[in-house]
Amino acid sequence: MNNFLDPAILFFIFGVLAGFAKSNLEIPQPIARFLSLYLLMALGLKGGFALYESGITSEVLTSLGGAIFMAILVPLLGYLVLSQKLKKLDAAAVAATYGSISAVTFITASQNLDDLGIHYGGHMAAAMALMESPAIIFAIIIANKIRSHHQPESETRPTLGKIFHESFTDGGQLLLLGSMVIGIISGDVAHEVLAPFSIDLFKGILSFFLLDMGLHAARNISELKNKPVICFYYAVLAPITHAIVALVLAKLLGLELGNTILLMVLASSASYIAVPAVLRQALPEVSPALYMGMSLGLTFPLNIIFGIPFYTYLAQQGI
């Protein structure tokens, strides 16, 4: 119940309601872009400061290994399930979307853990960055294999090398990693100086950004009209399934509670920024309405409102 009283969550719900009411309320795109970059920078700094204090431990390496494992497993399982009911290229696109992560869901979950006083490692921000690319690469490989059986490869389609480059140099991901490195190098001195920027402002800016996300979520859910019913079921049930698999993996690896919850959140989330931007070029045969409607219209709001507290409960109970 406390999650519903969180102002950031309430602003998200307010945005959803305003979107359904077809209000003309909107956050200008340049401002929304700045808010997202601020959140990634602040998260990277917080992670860097935490890593400065803890150093590279076995827990850090184990968590990163678990994150990479989930980033490979989720799109593979997703494609195997979805390709039974959807066109293979559509299945590859959706599998990539759900195999990657939502940075805003992760940021909201980390703020929720801060509010609950549950400790987590700053290296989980690095885990988030590592989980972004494998699903994209998987989708491109599958798509190229499918096309090779039907038609010659188009000269305009991006090469795998270009996909690698775009995946690892995406502006948001690069800012996250760069901020983390700066936090590690600068340590306690920068932590004290930047606290008003990276900590004190964080909750308010997150609330403002989630208002914008609520507006987008309400407008994207309409994109699911006339889509195969499996899209609806997958958008609702797959995140829970992925979170439970991540919970089992975290227990096997012996991760602490906070890191377990964040791994579950990462595994359950779906990309609606980085992956769709690449898929529009790499898989032009697939309508963005399919994967955007699923990830931003259904999975994102369900995770923000219900998923995060539910995954936290499961991890606390050790289920």
Contact between 52 and 187 under an 8 Å Cβ cutoff? The reply is: yes
What does the pLDDT look like over 255-286, one tens digit per residue? Answer: 999 999 999 999 999 987 777 767 777 788 88
In a domain, 82, yes or no: yes
What residues make up the domain containing 115?
2-17+28-148+157-209+223-317
What are the φ and ψ backbone dihedral angles of 252, each rounded to 5 degrees? -65, -35
What are the φ and ψ backbone dihedral angles of 87, each rounded to 5 degrees? -60, 150
Locus of tokens 């994109």: 223
Question: Which of 49-63, 196-210, 245-259 ranks highest by mean pLDDT?
Answer: 245-259
154 DSSP 8-state letter: P
The DSSP string of 33-96 is: HHHHHHHHHHHHHHHHHHHHHH-S-HHHHHHHHHHHHHHHHHHHHHHHHHTTTS-HHHHHHHHH
| pLDDT reported for residue 269 | 94
CB half-sphere exposure, 230, CA atoms < 13 A = 13
In a domain, 184, yes or no: yes
132 DSSP 8-state letter: S
| pLDDT reported for residue 254 | 93
Q: Calculate the dihedral angle through the C-alpha atoms of 296, 302, 303, 308, rounding to the nearest 10 degrees.
A: 160
| pLDDT reported for residue 39 | 83
| pLDDT reported for residue 235 | 94
Q: Is the pLDDT of residue 157 over 90?
A: no
Q: Decide which of 129 and 66 is more confident.
A: 66
In a domain, 188, yes or no: yes
Q: How many domains does the chain have?
A: 1
In a domain, 296, yes or no: yes
Q: Is the pLDDT of residue 202 over 60?
A: yes
In a domain, 173, yes or no: yes
Calculate the average pLDDT of the chain.
84
* For residues 281-293, average pLDDT: 81
* For residues 153-165, average pLDDT: 57
In a domain, 216, yes or no: no
Q: Is the pLDDT of residue 154 over 50?
A: no
Strands (E) located in the chain? none
CA distance linking residue 183 with residue 181, whole number of Å: 5
Query: Residue 75 maps to which CATH number?
Result: 1.20.1530.20
In a domain, 186, yes or no: yes
Contact between 258 and 119 under an 8 Å Cβ cutoff? The reply is: yes
Question: Looking at this protein, which amino acid is placed at residue 193?
Answer: V
Q: Is the pLDDT of residue 153 over 60?
A: no
Contact between 267 and 75 under an 8 Å Cβ cutoff? The reply is: no
In a domain, 88, yes or no: yes
| pLDDT reported for residue 56 | 79
Question: Looking at this protein, which amino acid is placed at residue 169?
Answer: T
